[in-house]
Amino acid sequence: MHSHKLIRRQFIGPYFYLGIALGLLYWLFDAWVMAAVFSEGNWASQVITPDTDDLYMRSFTWALFAFSGGMINALLNQVKARAAQHDDLIGMLATSLNEIYIFDQDSLRFLHVNRGARENLGYTEDELAELTVLDLKPTMTPREFKDLVQPLISEETNKLIFETVHRRKDGTDYPVEVHLQRTIFANKPALYAIVIDTTERKLQEKEKRHLETLLWHAQKVESLERMAGSMTHHFNNLLTIGLGNCEQALNTLPRDSSAYRFISAAHESASRGAAICDKLLDYTGKRSYQKHLLDLSATLQSLRPLISASCPTQIQFDWETEPDLPLIYTDVRSLEQIVMTLIANSIEAIGEQQGVISLHARLLSPSKKPGDGLSTEMQNSSQIQLLVSDTGVGMDEQTRERIFDPFFSTKFTGRGLGLASVHGIVNELGGSIDVQSTPGEGTSIAVLLPAAKDSETDLNIDERESIASNDEALNWPETGKVLVVDDEEMIGELAQGLLESTGLQVLRANNGAEGVELFRKHATELSLVILDLMMPVMNGAEAFALIRTIDPSVPVLISSGYNDEETHALFNDEQPDSFLPKPYQVDSFMRTVSKVLQPRPS
């Protein structure tokens, strides 16, 4: 039914009715001819009652005229429909958001370019008519493009998809994805291209790769931190044993003996090992920092002779510090390590050439300070900037992105821990680092450290007085008993020997569970508990919680290779009485214990 309606609509029209009219005129004309010329009756009888032969001929002719008119009408309707479809297709091509090109497959000249392409390229239709495909492709030679499209022209394939770069009229380039096919245009073989601007997609892919890199880096850092923390925990236990026993031996030997020299060398080597462990912990941010209020200018001045002595004669040293810089709340050894590491890297970057190293220290107010990479709190507070610049070889972007990775070094030899340690120290001290470098021109590394607040300055007075009192003689109670809990037997033996040398009695346990049981039995006799933090069966934090429930009046000292802030975070509101960082030497152990140890109140 639908097809019959479509045929009637295509067939019946003006030319169909014209055919009927022409057929009627033929009938009337033929009747006049038969009456007037051949004298076969009158015209009226010929029109109304013709004989059989005339009737058949006139009817056939009339039907032929009507059918011919209908066919003409149908053909014209089809032509109009195709023209409308063509106009619609051209309109769709013109308004497409993608770029659409039709070009001659031999000359490569453009035959049609849609509006989307013209607007993106910046060319007019007349300008494009004078161009070829190669004018838009700066990265392709004519031979390369011919070779690329040859499989399509030779009909080896019916479609090509490839990525390239297009150049706009203003000279800017942008990435595109091209879908190319064969076609016929204006009765000539041509190539038809749909081009997608992939700028946004490339940016998204780049951002995705950047995020994946950040995630990979974060996972790598987390893995390295776990490894470094585990390594340093075990090494610090061994170094505590080595350093402590070396000091005990040195205290019993004459200074001029060969044994004293040998053991002193072993002690020095163990101390260097402890420094390496500290660098690993600096990278992870888990080293124990002894923070105090420091005058940066005074600290830098104290390092100046050492820095000057370490600079080769061909290197000029430029030194500038602003007067009256605010104090910073930091660790003096860590600050010295930051300065000396940056200076050492600058010296190596200059090498045997003539060069200049600059060290500048200044105050940055919130309005002067760049905000990139800084927390809101840091952006709203004053910062001390320590800037070390050199005229050395500089670094490319790939090297600059990796300089803070542990064990990464551009030198053939070296541990590669220096800048990784600096990065960890600065993060732990609440600061930030900015690196600017150009190959062949030099490097500038800016370290930002927060200036101390007024409240910190006031609160630190008691701390400085406490530090000053460290030079006083140690006071030990006449009697007392100490519980030492450590899974390293030799550390326990070392601590026991040191404490017993002062007249104290010592109980020992190898893990937290044993320590809690001993404490439960002897709580009324104990003056102090020394707990290692990391132990099997039950760690120090768990043992501490149980000890406090049994008798909260007994002082507890926690010993660990991690920093005190991280260690304190393991405990709830109830905190240990003191903290002893590993690896400790005899003097620091004795002073810390003497300070915490109090006779049990009666």
One domain for residues 352 and 280: no
Residue 381 lies in a domain: yes
The structure tokens 């190669």 sit at 134
Task: Judge whether 389 and 358 are in contact, CB under 8 Å.
Answer: yes
Q: Give Cβ neighbours of residue 597 (< 8 Å, ≥ 6 apart).
A: 476, 477, 480, 482, 504, 527, 528, 555
One domain for residues 296 and 168: no
Residue 591 lies in a domain: yes
pLDDT given for residue 162 in this prediction = 93
- Name the domain count of the chain: 5
pLDDT in tens, 460-506: 444 444 433 444 456 777 788 999 999 888 888 888 888 888 889 99
pLDDT given for residue 15 in this prediction = 67
Q: Give Cβ neighbours of residue 564 (< 8 Å, ≥ 6 apart).
A: 288, 289, 579, 581
One domain for residues 391 and 451: yes
Q: Give Cβ neighbours of residue 369 (< 8 Å, ≥ 6 apart).
A: 378, 379, 383, 448
Q: Output the domain CATH number for residue 416.
A: 3.30.565.10
pLDDT given for residue 63 in this prediction = 78
pLDDT given for residue 602 in this prediction = 47
Residue 463 lies in a domain: no
One domain for residues 405 and 507: no
One domain for residues 107 and 9: no
One domain for residues 555 and 589: yes
Integer Cα distance of 33 and 439 in angstroms: 108
Letter string b/e over residues 399-409, b meaning 16 or more CB atoms within 10 A of that residue's CB: ebeebbbbeeb
Integer Cα distance of 486 and 241 in angstroms: 12
Residue 119 lies in a domain: yes
Q: Of 267, 284, 301, which one is at a domain's C-terminal end? A: 284
Whole-structure pTM over 0.85, yes or no? no
List of the chain residues with pLDDT < 50 = 1-2, 367, 371-378, 412-416, 455-472, 600, 602
Please tell me whether residue 103 adopts helix, strand or coil conformation. strand
pLDDT given for residue 399 in this prediction = 77
One domain for residues 116 and 166: yes
Q: Output the domain CATH number for residue 506.
A: 3.40.50.2300
| Helix 52-95 × helix 14-36 angle, to 10° | 160
Q: Of 140, 172, 197, which one is at a domain's C-terminal end? A: 197
Rounded alpha-carbon distances, angstroms, from residue 2 to 116, 162, 231 = 39, 45, 85
Please tell me whether residue 448 adopts helix, strand or coil conformation. strand
Q: Of 284, 319, 340, which one is at a domain's C-terminal end? A: 284
Count of C-beta atoms within a 10 Å radius of residue 389? 20
Task: Report strand pairing: 110-113 vs 442-450.
Answer: unpaired
One domain for residues 305 and 322: yes
Q: Which two tokens stand for residue 61?
A: 């002719």
Residue 202 lies in a domain: no
Q: Which domain holds residue 253?
A: 207-284
> Which residue from 177, 189, 129 is spatially nearest to 153, judged by alpha carbons?
189
Task: Judge whether 165 and 118 are in contact, CB under 8 Å.
Answer: no
Q: Which two tokens stand for residue 125?
A: 């239709």
Residue 466 lies in a domain: no
One domain for residues 311 and 439: yes
pLDDT given for residue 585 in this prediction = 73
Residue 467 lies in a domain: no
Residue 531 lies in a domain: yes
One domain for residues 479 and 567: yes
One domain for residues 440 and 315: yes
Q: Output the domain CATH number for residue 158.
A: 3.30.450.20
Task: Judge whether 197 and 99 are in contact, CB under 8 Å.
Answer: yes
One domain for residues 107 and 89: no
